[in-house]
């Protein structure tokens, strides 16, 4: 029996565009197994990057307004209330930038999940999907793609009668 056995499932949904192995092939951890169409993930990543850029520009503008308006408060040109609203807008822009950066990180992670790789060294089983198949990466209902079974170490079990065991022990000494 193999010590390790991993059922390979995708982390994202999409169409299989390439299979990088033949059934029963030996694989190493990190070897590519499947490619999932990455075009939607590239678009999502680019959109998230644009949102980061937009929030950076907005934050830069608000920070300069805060710096410009702060000395005007003591002189009465800008009210304390107006200045506090401006500071609050700047702080919200910082939070929105943080959220946009997190969305970009998620989009980049999803893009990386478009290539399914072997998690362990071993022998790969029969593929359960082919190029063109739509697979689901939804948690709890992800499409099984294949199985990788570790080949080292392996457990072996067998039945033996008591007399044979005693003889084998005697010969081992």
Q: What average pLDDT score do residues 141-161 get?
A: 87
In three-state secondary structure terms, 5 is: strand
pLDDT for the residue 15: 98
**Nearest-10 Cα torsion for 130, 131, 136, 139:** 70
CB 27 within 8 A of CB 122: yes
pLDDT for the residue 151: 85
Q: What average pLDDT score do residues 137-151 get?
A: 93
Dist. CA 98–CA 55, nearest whole Å? 9
Specify the higher pLDDT residue, 172 or 161. 161
pLDDT for the residue 70: 94
Dist. CA 49–CA 111, nearest whole Å? 13
Percent of the chain with pLDDT strictly greater than 70: 98
Residue 171: how many CB atoms within 10 A of its CB? 7
| Residue 1's pLDDT band (cuts 50, 70, 90) | low
Query: Rounded to two decimals, what is the model's pTM?
Result: 0.79
Q: What average pLDDT score do residues 110-139 get?
A: 96
**Tens-digit pLDDT profile for residues 3-19:** 789 999 999 999 999 99
**Tens-digit pLDDT profile for residues 114-123:** 999 999 999 9
Residue 83, pLDDT above cutoff 90: yes
**Tens-digit pLDDT profile for residues 24-73:** 999 999 999 999 999 999 999 999 999 999 999 999 999 999 999 999 99
| Residue 2's pLDDT band (cuts 50, 70, 90) | low
pLDDT for the residue 95: 98
Residue 157, pLDDT above cutoff 80: no
Percent of the chain with pLDDT strictly greater than 90: 82
């Amino acid at each position: 029996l193999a010590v390790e056995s991993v059922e390979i499932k995708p982390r994202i949904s999409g169409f299989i565009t390439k299979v990088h192995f033949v059934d029963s092939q030996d694989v190493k951890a990190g070897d590519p197994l499947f490619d999932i169409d990455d075009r939607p993930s590239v678009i999502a990543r680019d959109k998230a990057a644009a949102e980061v850029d937009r929030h950076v520009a907005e934050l830069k503008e608000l920070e300069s307004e805060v710096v410009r308006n702060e000395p005007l408060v003591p002189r009465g040109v800008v009210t304390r209330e107006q200045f506090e609203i401006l500071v609050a807008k700047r702080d919200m822009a910082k939070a929105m930038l943080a959220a946009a950066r997190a969305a970009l990180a998620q989009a980049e992670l999803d893009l990386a999940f478009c290539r399914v790789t072997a998690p362990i060294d071993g022998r790969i089983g029969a593929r359960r999907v082919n190029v063109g198949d739509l697979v689901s990466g939804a948690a709890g209902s992800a499409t099984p793609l294949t199985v990788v079974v570790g080949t080292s170490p392996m457990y072996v079990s067998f039945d033996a009668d008591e007399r044979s065991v005693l003889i084998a022990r005697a010969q081992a000494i």
